[in-house]
Amino acid sequence: MQTNPEHISNLTIEIEEDGSVVLEQDCTGNISRVWVHPVQLRYIAEKMGLVETSDPKAAKTIATLERRLLVLRDRIDELHDYLVNHSDHKHADLSYEVTFSRASLDIVEEFCHDLDEQPYNTARDATPSAPCTAPSAAAGDH
């Protein structure tokens, strides 16, 4: 018994009582029909990233990787904060280090974007009070 057929262009989608999905497509008079079992549909949805995996080992691995990425993001953020706000810019040219830490933080923020309930807010993303430039030779700071 079929329930509530839906149509997309020339494709008809019907759900059977047992949960199977029947796809029927009419291509210029040639009708193709495919039955998809719910287990097959779940597998396809997991592979496409539409639903979370039902594999406990994969779920544990994903949770571990998410936790590690978030810890890494916090450590890179802390390093960037230190370089920008607490390092000795008067006696050392840290422009490369600050640029590298900011780029690393940007990368890890992108990796973690979907892990947070809300987007990551870099409270420490302020412009440094002392510029990260090499001291001038004329100043005699070398």
Segment 65-78, tens digit of pLDDT: 989 999 999 999 99
Segment 92-127, tens digit of pLDDT: 888 888 899 999 999 998 888 887 654 444 443 433
Q: What is the pTM assigned to this prediction?
A: 0.46
Using CA atoms, how far apart are residues 3 and 69, in angstroms rounded to an integer?
45
Q: In the Cβ-directed half-sphere of 40, how many Cα atoms lie within 13 Å?
A: 8
Residue 128 has pLDDT above 80, yes or no: no
| Mean pLDDT in residue range 81-91 | 83
Structure tokens at 66: 């998410």
